[in-house]
C-alpha cells in the first residue's frame, strides 16, 4: 500500500494560498532538506485544476538546474478537475476520470513509492476528510499574511490529528507533520 502525503506552506494565521507573496526570506536549508526528502519518496503527484494551470505555465519553462523543476516536470501527474476538458499538455499529466476519492483509494492500493498532493488546497482538504492522507506537513512561516485562502474553513468536521514530527528551522519556520489520530 502506498502512502499519500501533502505539504503546504502556511502563515501563522493559516493562509496557504500564494506563499510566494509572504515567504520573503524565510525559506531556509532545513525547508529545502524537507522538500528534498519528499521528492526522494514521491513518484506520483496529484494536483487540482488551479495548481495544474499555474504550475504547467511555469515549471516547463523553469531553469533546467532548478531542483524542483527537474522533479515536477517528468513525474507522473494526475489532475483533479471537473472543468478541464482539453488534453493536458504538461509532460506526464493525465486528468482523473471520475471521483477523486475513489481514484486515490485505488491508486493508494497499488505498490510503489509515495503519492504527494502538491499545492491544491481543495484536494488536500477532500483527501484529509476522506481519511486518505497518511501525513499532512504544514511548513509554517513566521509571518501573518492577513488575507488569502486558508486550508480549513468554518463548518469543517472536527478531525483529530496526531503530531508525527516537528522541527523549528534556523529562520523560525515550524515544520509540523500530522497524521490521522490513532494511526
Per-residue pLDDT reduced to its tens digit, 51-102: 999 999 999 998 777 888 999 999 999 999 989 877 899 999 999 999 999 9
Please name the residue ranges forming H helices in 2-157.
29-41, 49-58, 67-72, 100-108, 121-129
By the 8 A CB rule, do 178 and 161 touch? yes
- Whether the per-residue pLDDT at 183 is higher than 70: the answer is no
Residue 44, CB half-sphere, CA atoms under 13 Å: how many? 19
Across the chain, mean pLDDT equals 93
Please state the pTM of the whole predicted model.
0.92
Residue 149 cell numbers, joined: 485562502
Amino acid at each position: 500500500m502506498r502512502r499519500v502525503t501533502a505539504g503546504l506552506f502556511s502563515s501563522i494565521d493559516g493562509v496557504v494560498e500564494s506563499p510566494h507573496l509572504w515567504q520573503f526570506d524565510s525559506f531556509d536549508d532545513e525547508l529545502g532538506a524537507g522538500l528534498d526528502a519528499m521528492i526522494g519518496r514521491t513518484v506520483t503527484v496529484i494536483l487540482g485544476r488551479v495548481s495544474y494551470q499555474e504550475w504547467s505555465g511555469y515549471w516547463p519553462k523553469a531553469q533546467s538546474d532548478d531542483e524542483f523543476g527537474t522533479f515536477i516536470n517528468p513525474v507522473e501527474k494526475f489532475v483533479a478537475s471537473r472543468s478541464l476538458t482539453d488534453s493536458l499538455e504538461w509532460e506526464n499529466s493525465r486528468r482523473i476520470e471520475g471521483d477523486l476519492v475513489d481514484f486515490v483509494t485505488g491508486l493508494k492500493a497499488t505498490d510503489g513509492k509515495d503519492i504527494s498532493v502538491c499545492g491544491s488546497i481543495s484536494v488536500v482538504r477532500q483527501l484529509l476528510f476522506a481519511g486518505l492522507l497518511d501525513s499532512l506537513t504544514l511548513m509554517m512561516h513566521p509571518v501573518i499574511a492577513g488575507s488569502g485562502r486558508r486550508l480549513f474553513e468554518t463548518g469543517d468536521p472536527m478531525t483529530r490529528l496526531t503530531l508525527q514530527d516537528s522541527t523549528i528551522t534556523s529562520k523560525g519556520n515550524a515544520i509540523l507533520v500530522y497524521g490521522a489520530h490513532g494511526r
